[in-house]
Amino acid sequence: MSNQEPIQIFLEGRSDQKYITSIEGNYHSNKVKLFLDDPVKGKRQEDHRFTPYLFMKDLKDHKIQLYQNSSQRDEMIKKYKIKIEKLRTDGNLRLDSGFKYLVTSDISVNSLTQFFKGAGVDPWDRKDIFQLNSPQEQFLIQTGKRLFKGFENYKDIHKLYFDIETTGLSPYDSKIFLIGIKDNRGFQHVIEIDDTPESELEGIELFFRVIDQLKPSIVCGHNSENFDFHFIIERAKLLGSPLKYAKYPTSQGGPIRRKKSYLKMASDTEEYEQTIMYGYNVMDIAHAVRRAMAINSDIKSWGLKYITKFAEKNKKDRMYVEGSKIYEIYRDNKNYRIDRTTNDYTIIKDNEYVSPTEDTITGKEIINQYLLDDLWETEQVDEVYNQSSFLLASLIPTGFSRVSTMGTAVTWKLLMMAYSYEQRISIPNHDKKRNFVGGLTRVFKKGFGQRIFKLDYASLYPSIMIEHNTFPPCDIDHVMRRILIYFYDTRNKYKKLTKKYEKTDKESSTYYDVRQLPIKILNNGFFGSLSAPEVFPWADLDLGEEITCTGRLYIRLMIKYFENLGFTSIILDTDGVNMSAPKDVDKHHYIGLGINSLVEKNKHYYGVDAVVAEFNDIHMKGVMGLDVDDEWKASINMARKNYVNLTYKGKAKITGNTLKSKKLQTYLENFINKGVKLILNNKPKEFIEYYYQYVEKIFNRELPLSHMANKSKVKLTNREYIAREGKTNINGKPLPKMAHMELLKESGIEKSLGETIYYINTGKMISHSDVGNCSLVDIETNPNELGYYNAPRYLSIFNKRIKPLLCVFKSDVRDTILVKNPKDRQYYTSRQMELIMETEDTIEEVMFLSFEEITFWNKVGKDPNEIFDGFSIDDSLVKLDIHKNKEIINKLKEKFKSQGVEVKSFHDDYKEGDFVINHKFMNDKEIWNLSEVISGSLVEMEELKV
DNA sequence: CACTGTGGCCGTGGAC
DNA sequence: GTCCACGGCCAC
């Protein structure tokens, strides 16, 4: 354990300074200001200095000469107080050709860049030669300080929540009438604004004065970057305000401003305007929710009302007002009867008698309470979804708003840059981007299954990296390996503690559970970073591919092992297989040896758990091991990555985008949710009846427009969409139109990025596609409104979606179920309605290494059959068919040799013009080909008989 | 002073 | 009808 201490100190920051909540630096000096919130001494600021630096490659390699002659250079070095230090490379080629000089200036980051600009190179433009951190990051890296040190919980940070109410959506034709403010230390206030411009400006100014008084560390709202701040600032400008708000009275901080910034959500990046307030972290909670949404497909919307319910944090007695009625109720000077236990209210009509004992409330009071309840919920959502960013910020040397918007590869880059700076190691030259082999995925059995187990490798990719030592050689201190092992151990420790306190001490349990979260994020992101050379300079694609190819071997090994024991593989995806167990599986009994860390010593295991524990103890090695992820009562297996499972509690869990998507129209979703349960509970006749009833409803337009509406997410601004018009695809054809963007363009409505819009196809025939045949639908005002829609087309879309579900029926029945008109409905016998399961992909095929895999192993000069050397597992399970292949290939080679032709195999090092034997698996058959190497690739010439 | 990966399914618009 | 490129979303 003790050898992990330096890593822990590095990650948590070697400086002991506590309670830093934000840092302000700049490019024109070497000064930074720290903002602290000491629980005893209170809020204060500190001035600090740092030495601006950048990492630089050897300029000679880029044919760049710094200044005309050495005397001129020396003069500039003196002027800008430049120092150049050579960093460690230990003879590693990528470090030698990387950023191996550390250049510093005692003056400022600008003087550093000025020095190079004077010589004709702008470091900001030449990311290929220079690596720079922001002043804030430079300070943190240099001093070993970290944000939020000393704060045990996110709750301990002083946070201010706000929300505004406006008369409309645009600041140019509507105005603010309420601003709600609440902090997490007992303050709350609603600023009321009347109809005059003076009052509105006063309200805005008061809002900033309140912030200035309270000095919270974090200022946040829900969707505040896109909406509230934009609105407030634009209104203030229109009303003639100079916008010099939110300064610390004693500071020299500049005015509030907005800066182009990026929000990273899994593989998506979105631009937004970030609000900058000197000394504060300005956060948008919707960002945290949207990042969670990108990873968790069960979250359907990032709206405040939805997400509070999803997180089960909704206030039970909250005041609720429909969005369109807020202004009306606020302004109409009416009184309402209210039930204080539920906060339900009804309007009191003019001349209506009200007894003095009745509880009443004014419209204004309703809206004020509504606003405060919104803020209360905002705080709850913040606590749930920003927790991991808060914890990450105490490990990663950068500001809070950046931590909560950047991607995982940048996170790892900052960690590695910090380590390289501390240890004076060069930053490697980046690897070249290329495609590579990823996870293996198959569906072996299609249709209806019962009693299904999911067996998957615990953290497959990180485990492979640790067990097979796949780390880049350019990491000369092996720090990535050490960090990963530290994370692995720490996370396991937290997981064990979470479990230990689960029943006795809920608070401690949650404390540890929350702490394993940032580690999980860093762990999961590591493999992706290692394969992202354009972002992460330490990336190594051969290693990335070795990890995935090794993963493919592990999954094959597992399939062979369990099939041998009578298990049936159903669906395979990357790191796990859904299997059905043999009938006698419950007879299995195993007493844990505890050799494998996933197995408890002396614990009695039964059934599938026993089989898996034995596999782990006896046959796995080191950190590698299988988990029994779950057990299900029944399943529908439709296609690769697409299946539905029934839990023993009766819940249907849908996996894959065939039946689960945020774009799925509500009418489809409603049918699917009920329909899959009927099939899973083995009620095929009821399913068929339900299907025909639903066809009738769609056909006769009995379903509300809000349920039929297509959902599209806005990913382009109107301007970007219009700019797309002249563009073509790789074949020179124009890019197709997008129905929802056409609607926005025509109506002149500009939606924020990330918003969902709803529209309905109003054509007459199936062939009437959406473009030119659709109109926008307001799903909120009249959710139950019926109306005209393109029934044949929606029915056809419905049938297409349902089709994959029919894989549970016999093939002759399957083809007759779907109808275009309810009068064509079919009737079936019980025998016809038996649910089935049939073979799709074969085990034999999947045991073959793909051509790409063999090419890879060949390229790196490794034998995949040696991956399991040292594992105590039966050779026949481990050794793959490539040995058999080798025998056949050798025979074929000899045959050609006897005819005087030199032939190679793809195991060999082949060149342009060589003849090569290769093989593939098609329709369950092995096919052998003779190919010629033309322009670096294999061109098939003839099929060979074996 | 943007940017983790591959594999897979489905819908769409447009060309033939 | 069939094919294609592309976008979107999802699984891991």
- Phi-psi group of A90: left, alpha or beta (phi > 0 → left; psi -120 to 50 → alpha; rest → beta): left
Strand pairing report for A218-221 and A159-166:
parallel
Beta carbon of A258 within 7 Å of strand B? no
The answer to whether the Cα torsion of A20, A26, A30, A31 is positive or negative is: negative
Q: Is the CB of A641 under 7 A from strand B?
A: yes
pLDDT value of position A249? 42
Residue A470 neighbours by CB under 8 Å, 6+ apart: A464, A543, A546, A547, A550
A403, A392 Cβ separation under 8 angstroms: yes
Q: What is the distance in angstroms measured between the alpha-carbon CA of A804 and the sugar C1' of B11? A: 15
CA dihedral of A620, A625, A631, A637, whole degrees rounded to 10:
-90
Cα A473–Cα A476–Cα A479 angle in degrees, nearest 5: 100
Closest-lying nucleotide for A535 based on CA to C1': B3
Round to a whole number and report the distance in Å from the CA of A419 to the C1' of C2: 56
Q: How far apart are CA A258 and CA A274, in angstroms?
A: 5
E strand spans, A487-601: 568-573, 576-580, 589-591
Q: Strand C: which bases are under 7 Å from protein Cβ?
A: 4-12
Residues 6+ apart with CB under 8 A from A570: A443, A444, A445, A449, A452, A577, A578, A579, A580, A635, A637
Provide the CA A210 to C1' B2 distance, Å, integer.
33
Cβ burial of A784 (10 Å; 0-12, 13-18, 19+) is exposed
Length A735 CA → C3 C1' (Å): 17
Q: Are A588 and A606 in contact (CB under 8 A)?
A: yes
Closest residue, by C-alpha, to the C1' of B4? A528
**C1' nearest to CA of A402: which nucleotide?**
B2
CA separation for the pair A238, A876 (Å, rounded): 78
| pTM, to two decimals | 0.90
**A406 strand B contact, CB < 7 Å:** yes
Q: Is A475 helix (H, G, I), strand (E, B) or coil?
A: coil
A785: enclosing H helix or E strand: none
CA dihedral sign, ordered A587, A590, A591, A594: negative
**Alpha carbon A503 to its chain's center:** 31
From CA A554, how far away is CA A574, in angstroms rounded?
A: 10
Strand C CB-contacts below 7 Å: A 266-267, 297, 439, 456, 573-576, 641, 654-657, 660-663, 712-713, 715-716, 729-731, 735-736, 738
What's A226's DSSP letter?
A: I
Nucleotide with smallest C1' distance to residue A266 CA: B4
Per-residue confidence (pLDDT) for residue A250, from 0 to 100: 44
- Are A667 and A474 a contacting pair, CB within 8 Å? no
Q: Determine whether the distance from the CB of A656 to the nearest atom of strand B is below 7 Å.
A: yes
The one-character DSSP state at A943 is: E
The two three-digit tokens of residue A448, written as one number: 């209806």
For chain A, the residue count is: 946
- pLDDT for the residue A3: 77
Contact predicate A486/A3, CB 8 Å: no
Comparing every residue's Cα with the C1' atom of nucleotide B10, the nearest one is: A658
Q: Which nucleotide lies closest to A457 by the C1' atom and the CA atom? A: C12
Question: Residues of A from 504 to 563 whose C-beta is within 7 A of strand B: which are they?
Answer: 525, 527-529, 531-532, 534-535, 544, 548
A438 touches strand B (CB under 7 A): yes
Q: Tell me the nt nearest to A657, Cα to C1'.
A: C10
| Closest residue, CA to C1' of B6 | A438
* Exposure string for A408-442, b = 16+ CB within 10 A, e = fewer: bbbbbbbbbbbbbbeeebbbbbbbeeeebbeebeb
Strands (E), A513-646: 568-573, 576-580, 589-591, 604-606, 626-639, 642-646
- Helix, strand, coil content of chain A in percent (nearest 5): 40, 20, 40
Interatomic separation, CA of residue A533 and C1' of nucleotide B4, rounded (Å): 10
Q: Which residue bears the tokens 């782990």?
A: A616
- For residues A429 and A93, what is the distance between their CA atoms, to the nearest angstrom? 9
Phi, psi of A506 (to 5 degrees): -55, -40
Strand partners, A936: none
Tell me the nt nearest to A850, Cα to C1'. B7
How confident is the model at residue A243, as a pLDDT? Answer: 64
Measure the CA–CA gap between A226 and A929, rounded to whole angstroms: 58
3-state DSSP assignment of residue A655: strand
What pairs with residue A717 in β-bridges?
Answer: none
| Both structure tokens of A334 | 């009416």
Indicate yes or no: strand B within 7 A of the C-beta of A432: no
SS3 category, A827: coil
Q: Does any strand B atom come closer than 7 Å to the Cβ of A136?
A: no
User: Per the structure block, which two tokens stand in for A684?
Assistant: 């095929």
Confirm whether any atom of chain B, the nucleic acid strand, is less than 7 Å from CB of A261: yes
What pLDDT sits at residue A132? 95
- A301 sits within 7 Å of strand B by its CB: no
Task: Tell me which residues from 857 to 896 on chain A have a beta carbon below 7 angstroms from nucleic acid strand B.
Answer: none
A727 closest-nt by C1' vs CA: C6
A476 touches strand B (CB under 7 A): no
pLDDT at A4: 86
Q: Which nucleotides of B are covered by protein (CB under 7 A)?
A: 1-15
Nearest CA among A267, A373, A398, A246 for reference residue A318: A373
Tell me how many degrees the CA angle A676-A677-A678 measures, rounded to the nearest 5. Answer: 90
Six-digit token pair at A717?
């601004």
Residues of chain A short of pLDDT 50, as ranges, are 1, 248-251
Asked if A165 and A367 count as a contact pair (C-beta separation under 8 A), the reply is yes
Cα–Cα nearest to A846, from A881, A811, A872, A888: A881
Residue nearest to nucleotide C5 (CA to C1'): A729
